[in-house]
Amino acid sequence: MTEIDAKALGADGAVRTASAFPPTPTTVARRPFRASPKLPLSLVGFAAFLLAWHLAVEVWRLPRFAKLPGLVEVFVEWTSTDPMYGVSLFTAEYYQHILVSLKRIVAAFSAATLLGVPLGLLLGWSQRFREYVFPVFETLRPVPILAWVPISIILFSGAETSVVFLTFIAAFFVTTLNTMTGVQSIDPSVVRAARCLGASPRQIFRHIVAPGALPHIFTGLQVSMGVSWFSLVAAEMVSGEFGLGYLINTAYAKIQYPTIAIGMITLGAVGYASSALVRLVGARLMAWRLREIGVGR
């Protein structure tokens, strides 16, 4: 029996997972490669990018690039103990900007997740509720984040709350919509099977709908994290004291071009790390998906 089953595993497993993942019949043997990110290749990518930057700005001095901060200039400023424009790895101010932005992201992203996931689950679960709420939701969703700026300033006294609010708004719509789609993507026969077994609506919601929607929820959270940074920086540029968006904007106003680049690089790094964190949590919660394709044990 087991021999036959083992034989069927290849063909059948591949068919079952083909829609979500490419078939990976030999992953067990190749695991060391898959498990570690492709570091050498990504380093080549980074090197090529930095080289292009260096050549375009400082070596060839291409017409439109000449005024941009150069790689060497930025690197020297960034690692200087006594930076020309006051912000480097060795100044407290630098970390204060990062910390302030991070705090806002954590507040906005958490609020968006805590409100968006339950709302999305409800929207997907109850047709009645969806009929009431979804049209309003869909009307508000396309409003660009910058259009919310006046309202948020009127609504909240003080720049801090309104910056967090703007960041929250963008993330909230993404998370809610993806969660709702996640619920709707659950195979109806799975829900029927649970009903057949005698599960109460509560049990179905908790044990079938919520975990079944998890893959979509985490796709949503990753996008939502990206959108959070995007709108945070926009909001910080409009109103705010401190934060990486504020740093970039003031550096521009004061013609401190290397500091702009430092702010951008830092944003990239922190954004990358925060998305990676969301992915990591997702992978932890969805061990069943990884095991399904044979990665990890």
Partner 1 sequence: MSAVAERRASDQTAAPRGRIDLHRVAKTYGQGRLAKTVMEDCSLTIEPGRLNVVIGPSGCGKSTLLRLIAGFDQPDAGAVTADGSPVRGPASDRLMVFQESALFDWMTVYENVAFALRAAGRGSRDIAPLAKDVLERVGLAAFKEKYPGQLSGGMQRRVELARALINDPAVMLLDEPFRGLDAMTRGLMQEYFLRLYADNPRTVVFVTTEIDEAILIADRLIILSNVPARVRWLVEIDLPRPRTVATLYEDDRANDIKREAIEVLHEEAMKSFRGAFRERASKEAVTAGSK
CB atoms within 10 A of CB 46: 9
Q: Which is nearer to partner 1, 19 or 157 (CB)?
A: 19
DSSP string, 226-254: HHHHHHHHHHHHHS-SSSHHHHHHHHHHT
Q: DSSP class of residue 186? A: S
Among 76, 102, 199, 264, binds partner 1 (CB under 8 A): 199
**In this structure, what are the phi and psi dihedrals at residue 154, rounded to the nearest 5 degrees?**
-65, -40
Nearest CA-CA partner of 278 in 35, 161, 41, 109: 109
Identity of the residue, 12 or 93, whose beta carbon is nearer to partner 1 in the bound complex: 12
Please report, as residue ranges, which positions from 2 to 41 form the binding site for partner 1 (by CB under 8 A).
Answer: 4-9, 11-13, 16-17
Q: Shortest Cβ distance from residue 211 to partner 1 (Å)? A: 4
State which residue, 158 or 198, has the beta carbon closest to partner 1: 198
Beta strands per DSSP E along 22-111: none
Task: For partner 1, give the closer residue by CB, 71 or 204.
Answer: 204
Question: How far is Cα 198 from Cα 63, in angstroms, rounded to an integer?
Answer: 72
Does the protein bind partner 1 through residue 209 (CB under 8 A)? no
Among 22, 187, 253, 284, binds partner 1 (CB under 8 A): 187
Given 14, 133, 286, 295, the residue binding partner 1 (CB under 8 A): 286
Q: Considering only CA atoms, which of 261, 229, 26, 240 is closest in space to residue 145?
A: 229
The window from 28-36, 139-147, 202-210, 247-255 that contacts partner 1 (CB under 8 A) reads 202-210
From the list 154, 189, 255, 284, which residue makes contact with partner 1 (rule: CB under 8 A)? 189
Task: Please identify, using beta-carbon distances, which residue of 8 and 84 lies nearer to partner 1.
Answer: 8
Among 96, 203, 250, 275, binds partner 1 (CB under 8 A): 203
Total residues in contact with partner 1, by rule CB under 8 A: 38
- For partner 1, the closer of residues 42 and 200 by Cβ is 200
By CB neighbour count within 10 A (0-12 exposed, 13-18 middle, 19+ buried), where does 21 fall? middle
Task: Quote the least distance from Cβ 131 to partner 1, whole Å.
Answer: 21
User: Contact between 153 and partner 1 (CB under 8 A)?
Assistant: no
Sign, Cα dihedral of 101, 171, 234, 79? positive
CA neighbor of 263 nearest in space, from 247, 252, 240, 282: 247
**Quick one: 18 or 265, whose CB is closer to partner 1?**
18
Q: What is the DSSP letter of 69?
A: P
Q: Tokens in use for 91?
A: 């100044």
Site for partner 1 in 222-261 (CB under 8 A): none
d(CA 84, CA 259): 9
295 contributes a contact to partner 1 by CB under 8 A: no
Binding site for partner 1 (CB under 8 A): 1, 4-9, 11-13, 16-17, 187, 189-190, 192-200, 203, 207-208, 211-212, 214, 286-289, 291-294
